Structure 1
Amino acid sequence: MTRTLYIVRHAKAEDRATFMSDHDRELISEGIMAAARIGRFLHDKSVQPDQVISSTAPRARDTAKVIAEQIGFDREQIQLDEALFEGGPKAYLAAVNGLPDSTQSAMIVGHNPDVSYFAEFLTHQSVGSMSKGAVVAVQFDGLNWAEVSGRTGSILFTIAPKELRQS
């Protein structure tokens, strides 16, 4: 069975203020619009993940919600995983390895540099630093989620909001 993982970096958020914790930063309007463009792109590609997992940080959670709206995924079914905030790539791998075998495709929404490192770890292909709101789609052939590890996937596509700007 082929499985697909959509790795998403949260969209553009407010700058970190001295009185605000990094975790609590919210999306700005530009980020909301960028997440909506990405969601429409994914909808047009018929992306229908069985599960969406997001960091608990508002900027990641809200990116997941905006994309979910666009692709027709029930926002109430988004699973929040606090380990995805500052948990490093190991936290992302643990979330993916814990997916049930009945899941054919999943989306995980988190933070850089972890998402970029994670995509490169899974595929051994250069992703560089994912831009805000970007998606890397990774395909795994013949593996259960528990078997996903380094160099087991291949990149199907990458897309960033700036590539979708309307003229």
Structure 2
Amino acid sequence: MKTLYIVRHAKSSWEYAGIKDIDRPLKKRGINDAHLMSKFLSKKIDRPDVFVSSSANRALHTAVIFCENFEYALSNLKIRKQLYSFSDGYLVKTVKALDDGFNSAIIFSHDHGINTFVNKFGSKPISHVTTCGVIGIQFEDKHWKNIKKGKTFMIEFPKNHK
């Protein structure tokens, strides 16, 4: 069995003129939400075997906060440039390329790709994954490359924990 947690990056800031989208930082609310969700999750689940993040600043900062609260070594955080995409194609490729030695993974990525992915591979329809939302899906497969349809067992959004 394989367990996947998908995390949409926390709330980012639009207030910096001229900054590239990939470089947008988290807002204070985003930082607070990332701590809130990662602390909640670290008490509810076993630490995932691998943490993988988009290279975008907002996703990476979210992942760093989760690493801190899960006591996961930052040196082991995997950064994937291809996850900075707003379609599910690279997310699917990233998940299917995970090493089978990892039975659980947590991936930090972006809006539209996450929404498409969780509806394609999960068992419960989700209309919109909010910022810092966490979706958990379990797959009966032994190999990541073979995942098809899994069971959605977790849908957690920051608003439910405030």
Name the TM-score, length of structure 2 as normaliser.
Answer: 0.95
Aligned residue among 155, 158, 161 for 1:158: 155
Residue 71, structure 1, aligned to residue 82, structure 2: no
Residue 90, structure 1, aligned to residue 89, structure 2: yes
* Mapping of residues 98-137 of structure 1, within 5 Å: 98-137=97-136
Which position in structure 1 is the counterpart of 2:48?
49
Aligned length: 162
Q: Which amino acid aligns with 1:161?
A: P
* Mapping of residues 26-65 of structure 1, within 5 Å: 26-65=25-64
- After superposition, give the CA deviation of every residue in 1:107-137 in whole Å (9 maximum; x if it has no partner): 1101101111111111253111110000000
CA distance in structure 2 between the partners assigned to 1:156 and 1:56 by the alignment: 27
Q: Which amino acid aligns with 2:117?
A: F
| Unaligned 5+ runs, structure 2 | none
2:125 aligned counterpart, secondary structure: coil
Q: How far does residue 8 in structure 1 lie from its aligned partner after superposition?
A: 0.3
CA distance in structure 2 between the partners assigned to 1:157 and 1:59 by the alignment: 23
Contact 2:3 2:104 in 1 (8 A): yes
Q: How far does residue 47 in structure 1 lie from its aligned partner after superposition?
A: 2.9
Name the TM-score, length of structure 1 as normaliser.
Answer: 0.92
Contact 1:16 1:22 in 2 (8 A): no
CA distance in structure 1 between the partners assigned to 2:127 and 2:72 by the alignment: 29
Contact 2:123 2:152 in 1 (8 A): no
C-alpha RMSD over aligned residues: 1.3
| Percent identical | 28
**Runs of at least 4 residues off by over 4 Å:** none
- After superposition, give the CA deviation of every residue in 1:70-112 in whole Å (9 maximum; x if it has no partner): 1121122111111111262110011111111110100110110
Which position in structure 2 is the counterpart of 1:12?
11
Contact 1:3 1:104 in 2 (8 A): yes
Change (3 A) 1:27 1:161: same
Change (3 A) 1:7 1:144: same
Change (3 A) 1:60 1:133: same
Which position in structure 1 is the counterpart of 2:141?
142
Q: Which amino acid aligns with 1:46?
A: I
